[in-house]
Structure 1
Amino acid sequence: MFNGQEQTILGGLVIIYFLFLFGVSLYINHKSIKTYDDYNVAGRSVSIFPLILTFVGTAVGGSTLLGFMENGYKFGMGQQWLNFGLLLAGIIMLFFFVKKIRGYGEKYNMVTIADFTVLRFGEGARFPTVLSILIAYSAITGMQFVAIATILNLTIGLSITAGIIISWILLTLKTYFGGMKSVIWQDAFHGTIQTIGIFILFVVVIAVSGGWENISQSAAAINEGTHLSIFTISPKEVFVYLLTIGAYQFVRQDLWQRFWAAKNLKTATRGYWISITLAFLTGFFVIVIGVAGKYGLQMGEINPTLSYYEIIANVFNFPMVVVMIIALLATVISTADSFFMAGASSIVNDLIRPRLKVQDDKKLLFFSRMSVLFVSVFALLLALYIPQLVNLWVTGTAMLVSSLLAPVIFGLFWKGATKAGGAWAMWIGLIIAVGWQLAGHPFGIHPVFIGLPVSTVLVLVISLLTSEKNSVRTPEGEHI
């Protein structure tokens, strides 16, 4: 795709960009990270502008830009259901969840979802919550390693395996030193770049394609006009997206942490509202770009996995291609470090911190950074095991949804949910989903279609059977 000289230039710029981000992380580490809360929830003082962009930067990652565009190129506009699922979940989250999540976080100084599940369902909920978070977030972090590896493969000719390992090293170092403060401020920078870059690409591709009417005519000419309809997707596939990528928004630890990191509830709700709108528009544009690339640009037979690179090379000169590669890097990195922090904070906050006799900030900071290293290794192994972007995303979210979605929702909205009901639902939902995944989806049934219903039934039935024995009270003795 790129000649030797262009590969050298791109490779050099990629290295310089990573060194710049690493330098920013070191600077923030030296100037701003003094306490455990600084490292894990940015001191709970983030203002509206960086909050909006860190929401967007985290929501729009490598799977969105590369995976959505690839799926749009291969399957057409029906892939917008991935995007609709995210928007619907975001709206429900905004109107019914954010205030409750923020309230619990402020009252009990929460850092992770396990802080909530342990408060609500007791110590028996701690380990299944942490395990679910680690599996999901390591998978999604690994997904970003794959995305960066693809960039390195095209820019400097590295193999995908070597690229995964190099991206693992670079992102681990950056996150290790910077913590959540670095993540949020770099996300503000990355979110700006990626949003502007994707919008420019959308406008240019539509213009070069001759408009939507020309795209429609080209698709009809090769008997693929139906690919421009959003209804060319099976109901089963729609429900898989809704119950994994969509439903997982309710138990996204990185989202909960940003609600708690905002300086107040108004900032959290306003920032989230603007961000879900921007994220939806970005996802919509990306899928349309994939569709327009196939039917409007008429590039011939290409590898759909490389559709982003082929499209930018088709419509831009080399200097603009460089800009779009940087926009892609910004997109991937802004998601990877956020998920790093979400997984790592579960280890230090939920497994290590409760067992420390002396909980000084210096010791907690040390264990926070060690947790980043642990998550990075687990994510690396998953990236090497499942190197397909959307598959890795759906796999990780299915584990999280199957285990946590039902107990968390019932815990937030139903006082009758008991300790036994919540804990058993988490364990059984997770075990079934993981087992079904490892078994290779028997009978063609996705794990979420088994794990989530079982978890939902269990939390209801066991709570009703144990309502007198397992009433839930807060540390202050308050019944919730």
Structure 2
Amino acid sequence: MMDSVIMWSWIFMSIFIGAMLVFGYLGMKKTHTSDDFATARSSYGPVTIALVISAGIASGSTFMGMPGLSYALGAPSLWYPLLYPVATVFGMLFFAKAIKEYGDKLGTRTIPEFIGNRYNSNILRLVLAVISILLIFYVISQLVAAATMFQIMMGLDYGVGIIITIVVIGIYVFLGGSHSDIMTDAVQGALMVLIALTVVVCFALGVGVEGGFGELIDRITERRPEGHFGQLFIPGDETYGSIWLVLLLLIAHLPFAVQPHLGNKFMAVRSNKDLKKLLMFTTIFATILPLMGLGGMLAIGVLDPSTDIRADAVIPTLFTEIFPPFLAAFLAVAVLSAVMSTSDGLVVSLTQILANDIFRLSIVPRTKMSEEKAEKYELAISRYSTFLFLMLAGIVAWNPPEFLSIFMWIGIGGIVSATAGPLVVGSLWKRANRTSAITSLAAGTIAYWFIYLPFGLDVSNPFAAAGMGVIISMAVMVIMTLVTSKPGDNNLVQFEDAQ
């Protein structure tokens, strides 16, 4: 059977990769300027961008990491897929309109540039640009997920899988930037919704378990007595050990969508009038995708308890067990789409740190370079740095971490802790000023790393460290705004009046 799965995987994978390269070409036809590469500004409808954002939120972590956690730990780990879409979409309500409205007015291309403009501070922009390099952890986790899929479903060496992923993503991002990212991610997002719904149906029917759903629940209780559906928490666990830790997981995800590869997607939607539809569709899609976590619970009942597999490889292993070869291969390609849908957006965002935040905004103003020449160099930096970041991530991904969902949060935690105060509070409160933003950013960043790293409190759970970092960042933002400004102050005036 495995030979048939590998054969069908090659067929579907060839079609999938061919389609991605075609979208890369179509994206290139739409990319004429560095702004096109960076944002694809006002080019797509709300359903398309909702699929893109939802796919970017989900990533390989949702489709492989979360099922891996539920397979290893049981039902309490389902807090993660249950809460993170709620928190993420709720957070979007605070800042999506501001990013779109002021992004169109000022021509901002990145989240660091948006915050720098909001507080009229180059320091904030540069510091956030540097902090955004932490997205490389996220890219690494996606490469690991993709290589694992190639290894299990296509019989390739893990390292060869990493190389193929780098080449494919690198080519279509190089060609079309954000346009290629958005077009490919919309298709990938639709595939991801399909596979998530398939997993839900299989779980509800107890597919692969004689006796159906009832027998599945009995097997889960027997094989994971510490993690059956009657258990809400795992005593002593660093992530799911108590209600406080789960709440920190929720809080950590409130600013999740302000990450550079997600926040800039609001600029691509055609009109401010589409934002309500965008948020509605994003809520629907983002709620469906994390249901992949049920795949890990199904695997507990289906797979032989003596099966020796890495937790993050449980989904492709499950597919080969319960589906005919052609269907297992097709669904595996859909899982791979989850990986690539996040990786390409991450890479585009990382390229803009060099091309936009450092070159265009920091270097060009200090030279006598013509506008045409600067535009040409910026687009070249955007394209060629694509392979730079992918290769750096590939080197680290060569030795995979134990849990993708936890590893990628090392970087995400640093970003959300830094941006929670300046972006979330600053989007809602006109009184928030530059001093409070800089202080908040510093406090959130220091708090996160002090809590997480061994020389501090050594909390090895990045969700808890990020949750506390977010709370501290927002609290400091509010306190410093009250101390350094007067009631009625409007520190958005300059920002709102800028043309």
- Taking structure 2 as the reference length, the TM-score comes to 0.85
What is the aligned partner in structure 1 of residue 293 from structure 2?
Answer: 287
Among 275, 299, 306, the alignment partner of 2:304 is 299
Question: For residues 385 and 88 of structure 2, what CA distance do their matches in structure 1 show?
Answer: 29
Q: Kindly state the Cα deviation for residue 381 of structure 1 after the two structures are TM-superposed.
A: 4.6
What is the aligned partner in structure 2 of residue 83 from structure 1?
Answer: 81
* Distance verdict in 2 for CA 1:308–1:437, change over 3 Å: same
Question: For residues 46 and 154 of structure 1, what CA distance do their matches in structure 2 show?
Answer: 36
Question: For residues 116 and 230 of structure 1, what CA distance do their matches in structure 2 show?
Answer: 43
What is the aligned partner in structure 2 of residue 227 from structure 1?
Answer: 228
What is the aligned partner in structure 1 of residue 2 from structure 2?
Answer: 2
Q: Is the 8 A contact 1:124 1:419 kept in 2?
A: no
* Distance verdict in 2 for CA 1:45–1:17, change over 3 Å: closer
* Distance verdict in 2 for CA 1:397–1:305, change over 3 Å: same
Superposed, 1:123-142 pairs within 5 Å as 123-135=122-134, 137-142=135-140
Q: Could you tell me which amino acid in structure 1 is paired with residue 23 of structure 2? A: V
Q: Kindly state the Cα deviation for residue 175 of structure 1 after the two structures are TM-superposed.
A: 1.2
What is the aligned partner in structure 2 of residue 253 from structure 1?
Answer: 260
Identity of aligned residues (%): 20
What is the aligned partner in structure 2 of residue 338 from structure 1?
Answer: 345
Question: For residues 288 and 456 of structure 2, what CA distance do their matches in structure 1 show?
Answer: 33
1:415-447 CA-to-partner distances (Å, cap 9, x unmatched) read: 332222212332343345346544377343643
Question: For residues 293 and 358 of structure 2, what CA distance do their matches in structure 1 show?
Answer: 40
Q: Kindly state the Cα deviation for residue 366 of structure 1 after the two structures are TM-superposed.
A: 1.5
What is the aligned partner in structure 2 of residue 408 from structure 1?
Answer: 423
What is the aligned partner in structure 1 of residue 315 from structure 2?
Answer: 308
Q: Is the 8 A contact 1:190 1:331 kept in 2?
A: yes
Question: For residues 277 and 211 of structure 1, what CA distance do their matches in structure 2 show?
Answer: 28
Q: Kindly state the Cα deviation for residue 351 of structure 1 after the two structures are TM-superposed.
A: 1.2
Question: For residues 401 and 223 of structure 1, what CA distance do their matches in structure 2 show?
Answer: 33
Aligned length, in residue pairs: 472
Q: Is 1:271 aligned to 2:283, yes or no?
A: no
Question: For residues 175 and 477 of structure 1, what CA distance do their matches in structure 2 show?
Answer: 33
* Distance verdict in 2 for CA 1:193–1:461, change over 3 Å: closer
Moved more, 263-272 or 357-366: 357-366
What is the aligned partner in structure 2 of residue 442 from structure 1?
Answer: 457
* Distance verdict in 2 for CA 1:26–1:440, change over 3 Å: farther
What is the aligned partner in structure 2 of residue 424 from structure 1?
Answer: 439
* Distance verdict in 2 for CA 1:230–1:407, change over 3 Å: farther
Question: For residues 156 and 256 of structure 2, what CA distance do their matches in structure 1 show?
Answer: 34
1:248-293 CA-to-partner distances (Å, cap 9, x unmatched) read: 4242223322211100123233123212222212212x12222122
Q: Is the 8 A contact 1:53 1:192 kept in 2?
A: yes
Question: For residues 89 and 341 of structure 2, what CA distance do their matches in structure 1 show?
Answer: 23
Question: For residues 410 and 495 of structure 2, what CA distance do their matches in structure 1 show?
Answer: 39
Question: For residues 232 and 172 of structure 2, what CA distance do their matches in structure 1 show?
Answer: 42
What is the aligned partner in structure 2 of residue 359 from structure 1?
Answer: 371
What is the aligned partner in structure 2 of residue 218 from structure 1?
Answer: 219
Question: For residues 202 and 42 of structure 1, what CA distance do their matches in structure 2 show?
Answer: 34
Question: For residues 70 and 305 of structure 1, what CA distance do their matches in structure 2 show?
Answer: 4
- Taking structure 1 as the reference length, the TM-score comes to 0.88
Q: Is the 8 A contact 2:153 2:316 kept in 1?
A: no
Q: Kindly state the Cα deviation for residue 86 of structure 1 after the two structures are TM-superposed.
A: 2.0
Superposed, 1:3-402 pairs within 5 Å as 3=3, 6-7=5-6, 10-11=9-10, 13-15=12-14, 17-29=16-28, 31-121=29-119, 122-135=121-134, 137-207=135-205, 208=207, 209=209, 210-222=211-223, 224=225, 227-229=228-230, 231-232=232-233, 233-235=240-242, 236-244=244-252, 246-284=253-291, 286-295=292-301, 297-302=302-307, 303=309, 304-354=311-361, 355-356=363-364, 357-360=369-372, 361-384=375-398, 387=401, 388-402=403-417
Q: SS of 1:34's equivalent? A: coil
CA RMSD of aligned residues (A): 3.0
* Distance verdict in 2 for CA 1:383–1:276, change over 3 Å: farther
Q: Could you tell me which amino acid in structure 2 is paired with residue 419 of structure 1? A: R
Q: Could you tell me which amino acid in structure 1 is paired with residue 393 of structure 2? A: A
Q: Could you tell me which amino acid in structure 2 is paired with residue 394 of structure 1? A: W
* Distance verdict in 2 for CA 1:222–1:141, change over 3 Å: closer
Q: Is the 8 A contact 2:418 2:440 kept in 1?
A: yes
* Distance verdict in 2 for CA 1:427–1:288, change over 3 Å: same
Q: Is the 8 A contact 1:40 1:111 kept in 2?
A: yes
